[in-house]
A and B are shown apart, each in its own frame.
Chain A
Amino acid sequence: MSKYLLNKFLFTVDRDPSLVERYRSNPVETVAWWESTMANEILGAHTGEASTWLAFTDIERDALAQHDYVRLFELGAHPFLTLTLFIAMFERDYAEPLAFQKEYAARLSHFSLPYPDIAT
């Protein structure tokens, strides 16, 4: 399990407007492309240098590919990263202000303290 890699996906997609749209409209393709090209990129290192060992588990890959933010919460992805990116992708589909955020909370309502561990 790699909470770090889940977070890295959310972090790198959230900061790129074109990737936000691509992930919204074509999640399966985006997750596969990202894992094959971006997952091992060291963001602060020399261009061309990369890690060799980072990969999603099947459960993690499926959660991202299905836009399943409830499962991402359960897996310990950082809730701020998940929320921010999913607001960017889906808030626009709701007519009322904060309606998406409230539905998001309701769909997580079966979780009680302690929440899944987010330490990486």
Chain B
Amino acid sequence: MATLAAVIASTHHPFYYKASTAPPEERPPFADEWVAKILAFRETLTRARADVLVMVGSDHFHQLWLDNMPQFLVGKAPFYDANFYNEEREFGLPRMLLKGHEELSSHILRGGLDEGFDLAFSNELRIDHSITCPIITLRPEADLPIVPIYTNIFAPPLPRPGRFVELGHSIRRLIDTWPSDLRVAVIGTGHLSLELGGPRQFGPHGPDPEFDRKAVEWISSGDIERALAEVTLDSLWTPGNATHGFMDFMLMMGVAGEGAKADYVDTLDLFHTMEAYFTWYPNGVPA
């Protein structure tokens, strides 16, 4: 069976690419600390020696639109072009091309459907910064094949938080039972408290530092029960109007499992939102 080599949950900050590649005179003052933290985080994936990456993210109204909006979608294609004109325009993100892993896509689609998730699929998916940001931070060579999984955290009505956790559990079971010799890493990105297009946006910190503190505690200790007790679709509006992206972290807690303490935890308090980085090694810390 396949080996789940690492489970990684991260915020995705589209400004990292520009902050880390700008010429010295244009680098923001926080760039050096940010780059150092990213390099340390990257090492946690490198050590896992993954062969294939399952990438959980959420399309930001790029390819998926309100005339036909899936709740959970799995890409199944040999390649994925990546990043869009408006991400190039606003964030300076590069165009990318990533390889797909169709066999694992098929396994997750078939198994997910059989486990009760009516997953949508796409045979021609252009992926956006929710997936390319962690490629840039964690695997900038962009050389490993991926299986993209998109969740709807963006366009209500949304699935409830518990459903994200359940999908995480299901992804975990499906990888653990995949008849393959490959080493799989699951990487998912979301947000802590975040406001976009509202009165609390672009402050000196994330809009709700107390939520961020609790969220980091839930994730790092694997406390799914507490997270589910405190987080609802309604409650997520309070820390910031884009905080439903936290449900992608809850999905990743589901992949890691109830009570699974993260082997690596780091945070960075930035303007606008807090960065947070977590890695679990479900089959032991690699040598």
Q: In the bound complex, how far is the Cα of B156 from the Cα of A105, in angstroms? A: 23
Q: Are A108 and B90 in contact (CB under 8 A)?
A: no
Chain B, Cβ-Cβ closest to A14: B86
Chain B residues with Cβ under 8 A from A109's Cβ? 199
Q: In the bound complex, how far is the Cα of B88 from the Cα of A9, in angstroms? A: 21
| Complex interface residues of chain A between 106 and 120 (CB less than 8 A to chain B) | 106, 108-111, 113-115, 118-120
In the complex with contacts A15-B85, A108-B198, A87-B90 CB distance below 8 A: yes
A88 contacts which of B62, B86, B197 (Cβ < 8 Å)?
Answer: B86
| Complex interface residues of chain B between 74 and 114 (CB less than 8 A to chain A) | 84-86, 89-90
Q: Are A15 and B238 in contact (CB under 8 A)?
A: no
Q: In the bound complex, how far is the Cα of B241 from the Cα of A119, in angstroms? A: 13
A80 contacts which of B60, B89, B202, B203 (Cβ < 8 Å)?
Answer: B60
In the complex with contacts A11-B61, A88-B90, A108-B199 CB distance below 8 A: yes
Chain B residues with Cβ under 8 A from A113's Cβ? 237-238
Q: In the bound complex, how far is the Cα of B185 from the Cα of A39, in angstroms? A: 43
Chain A, Cβ-Cβ closest to B90: A87
In the complex with contacts A78-B61, A80-B154, A81-B61, A105-B199 CB distance below 8 A: yes
Cβ of B99 to closest chain A Cβ, rounded Å: 26
Number of interface residues of A (CB under 8 A): 36
Q: In the bound complex, how far is the Cα of B201 from the Cα of A84, in angstroms? A: 13
Number of interface residues of B (CB under 8 A): 29
Chain B residues with Cβ under 8 A from A114's Cβ? 237
Q: In the bound complex, how far is the Cα of B65 from the Cα of A120, in angstroms? A: 12
Cβ of A18 to closest chain B Cβ, rounded Å: 11
Chain A residues with Cβ under 8 A from B199's Cβ? 105-106, 108-111
Chain A residues with Cβ under 8 A from B241's Cβ? 79, 115
Interface string of B132-165 (1 = CB under 8 A from A): 0000000000000000000000111100000000
Q: B: which residues have CB within 8 A of A?
A: 60-62, 65-68, 84-86, 89-90, 154-157, 196-203, 237-238, 241-242, 271
Q: A: which residues have CB within 8 A of B?
A: 4, 7-8, 11, 14-15, 17, 42-44, 73, 78-84, 87-88, 98, 101-102, 104-106, 108-111, 113-115, 118-120
25 residue pairs A–B, Cβ–Cβ below 8 Å: A4-B66, A8-B66, A14-B86, A15-B84, A42-B67, A44-B68, A73-B197, A73-B198, A78-B197, A79-B241, A80-B61, A80-B154, A80-B242, A81-B61, A82-B197, A83-B201, A84-B86, A88-B86, A98-B271, A101-B202, A104-B201, A105-B203, A111-B199, A113-B238, A115-B237
